[in-house]
Structure 1
């Protein structure tokens, strides 16, 4: 059942193929460098790109822009307490700002940080503090055909092996990312969260949940974890988050907002540390780099994110795109995650070696064939990491319709049909920060 009707529209146009060719070359074969006006269907990210509800727009118009003591911040505090269960909130302009506030206060040179899988900005923030990010994914996390219900889990066996090697004092922070974006958006079970909580207690570490997609994860838990079969998304979310010492949040995902993020905790000492860093890097604690109207919109969005009708519709659209791609013969990671479909570019372009960046080549061909923008999450985005060559097609929330999905599928099928003619790529220039190179690096085709 469709959960929404449109109240506002935006005209989009598909540039002709010759123009797309020129755009791709001018962008250095990096779709981050494309102008949005030149993109027909934009699946680069689901971060801040969704459509807000009428209730969010109403809240936005009534936002309180006071520098200190804003009513909009009070409403965000209330929403975080009600939906997520935390009493202290430090706002930030977006998720990576919140990461800077939190990890800058928790980490120092020489530390080791464990995570199911660090995403790009998380990995960069950990490394920027002089700490070492170590991934501990579930055994089947990087197997596109594994099919396990909770491939997003933290591997406790891996985590214990790391601690045995470096010692517990070297690991001050353990992170669990829900859903696991780097592992094809796969969910994390509540049972795994409980086990990670116990493990963090054993080694006296702070347990952080990266909660960007906490509502989508909770919906998967209700579908796949028997203990929660008859429990609401809202109740599951509260239960899962209750095991964390702190959460770091991009409100641009399951806050359903176009800007904003925060750190939330019940620990007064950690809150004070984050609050002071927030003043330094983000702004006064009752606005944190955000306009009051954006605080108000995110407060409403957090509550909407755990509504059954919303989150069921969200997961269903992603599943539908995955099924349509599979029916068209496009290899994908299965089961699909909550926010995106991940194409297995290594299989789709099997004639290209990993050193030729088959994922990035597939991304470029999606734009060349149909003006569709996705993002590579393989060896180009994560250098020196052993993971599959995946292309993420992230669906903005409440934005595209079935006709858009059909165009994406037709475009991907065309890339597959002409796959043998696709050339690999090599890097021409890149950032000095390897964890962030896929944002700005430029590439060029490898000539035959």
Structure 2
């Protein structure tokens, strides 16, 4: 008999989580103005809001933290991180930052001007927010197949190179500071990008003289999918695949809270010494000196170890197979999600579940609230709330996909928790036809509103307040 699959780690420490009653949850979500971000974590039983900074660090990482050098300048921990980035990712120059969006801020403050255009594959919320805040434009060039959640293809996060070349041809070189390639493609459902597509995008960038920027929060998961799905890579190690991926990039930004499995930290890395120097002033002004950039020495040490552990096949297999397990449970119950299962999350197709909720009433957010009320499970909307308003017309944007993301923290929950999540979704799915109303906006910020938005049940709709 073949042995069943088991996790590639064992548990040394546990954290208590508490159940609650539906009556309590109804009160708590109302007090949070129906914004799942506004809930206290103590009010959540299983937290799938994000996989960013919510994973469990290893014994090696905790040991490395005890050796952190907290010197203001030139700390050993900085050089540990520098060596890991050079050895594993292949970049000679980098600037640390306290997280991914801070790294984006350092880079984009340097390279983006008003009126610029940055094409890519489904820019995520902070990336698009930074671009639009600077009065530039993010253009989505993801393949059309990503819009069909039930279509099974191996690399649904790919760039449509014909769309990309049209943008590169249409705009002058000086108006395109970079092409943004997100690996994996989070907004499209945690879907990977093939090596073939990476090469093709890099070739177009070279042809038109444009820099290639990789948004790399989940690069290791992307490498796992290349190894397991793309011809010619089955016998290559994850680290070999990672080095090849980044050999085609000029710049990378990294939220290390994902694939480096730390609670805080990020960086922007460069092949160009000149660009690295140009970005230093924004690192110093907004983050800190260039050898700590908003990070403590202990966190830089943990990050360096996490880059090594996060690019090992056994760890990645355990992580991604847990996501697949949740997808298989949802298959049993007939619940539609972005197929195939993503690297870090399952993205439930909210539009296919809540068919009676109008798009103006935020379908995916409504599903997220129903899941929380059902079992105290917190997920996050990847739909019209996150898509925000058009920066010019101020009209709501309604994306092709309305998804509820169930982001699985690394090395944190067991498959028993996955079973609870699946049954809770089944219970919501079974009563889906009775859910006919969603929510309207009572208050919103003018950009990246989904973090702090205040909602109310749609039947008591008022005029939205906007700063």
Q: TM-score, normalised by structure 1?
A: 0.98
Structure 1 position 429 matched with structure 2 position 434 = no
Alpha-carbon distance between aligned partners in 2 of 1:55 and 1:164, rounded to the nearest angstrom = 49
The residue number in structure 2 matching 1:443 is 455
Task: Structure 1: give runs of 5+ residues left out of the alignment.
Answer: none
Structure-1 separation of matches of 2:434 and 2:443: 25
Distance 2:274 2:353 in 1: 50
C-alpha distance after superposition, 1:77-134 (max 9, x if no partner) = 0110111011111000000000001111111111100111110000011112221111
Instruction: Provide the secondary structure at the position in 1 that maps to 2:12.
Output: coil
Give per-residue Cα distances to partners, 1:34-84, cap 9 Å, x unaligned: 000100000000000000001000001111111101111110001101110
Quick one: distance in 2 between partners of 1:447 and 1:110?
40
Given the alignment, which residue of 36, 41, 48 partners 1:36? Answer: 41
Aligned length: 446
* Structure 2 counterparts to residues 343-358 of structure 1, below 5 A: 343-358=348-363
Hey, what's the Cα distance between the residues in 1 that align with 2:183 and 2:234? Answer: 19
Matches within 5 A, 1:40-439: 40-383=45-388, 384-422=397-435, 423-433=437-447, 436-439=448-451
Is the deviation greater in 349-358 or in 339-348? 349-358
- Structure 2 residue runs without a partner (length 5+): 1-5, 389-396, 461-467
The alignment partner of 2:338 has SS state of: coil
What is the CA–CA distance in structure 1 between the aligned matches of 2:35 and 2:79, rounded to whole Å? Answer: 41
Contact 2:96–2:293 (Cα < 8 Å) also in 1 = yes
CA distance, structure 1, for counterparts of residue 458 and residue 115 of structure 2: 39
Partner of 2:465: none
Aligned partner of residue 182 in structure 1, secondary structure: coil
Aligned-CA RMSD value: 1.1
Shift of 1:172: 2.1
TM-score w.r.t. length of structure 2:
0.94
**Structure 2 contact 150–336 (Cα < 8 Å) conserved:** no
SS at match of 1:264: strand
The answer to whether the 8 Å contact 1:358/1:389 transfers is yes
Query: 1:385: Cα distance to partner?
Result: 4.6
Does structure 2 retain, via aligned residues, the 8 Å contact 1:117–1:180?
yes
Deviation at 1:390, TM superposition (A): 0.4
How far off is 1:329 after superposition?
Answer: 2.0
Counterpart-to-counterpart distance in 2, 1:213 and 1:372: 23
Residue 213 of structure 2 aligns to a residue in which SS? Answer: strand
Deviation of the 1:170 alpha carbon: 2.0
8 Å CA contact retained: 1:379, 1:387:
no
Task: Give how far 1:195 is off.
Answer: 0.9
CA contact (8 A) 1:93 1:282 kept: yes
Structure 2: how far apart are the matches of 1:169 and 1:146?
38
Contact 2:97–2:267 at 8 Å: present in 1 too?
Answer: yes
2:459 is paired with a residue whose SS is coil
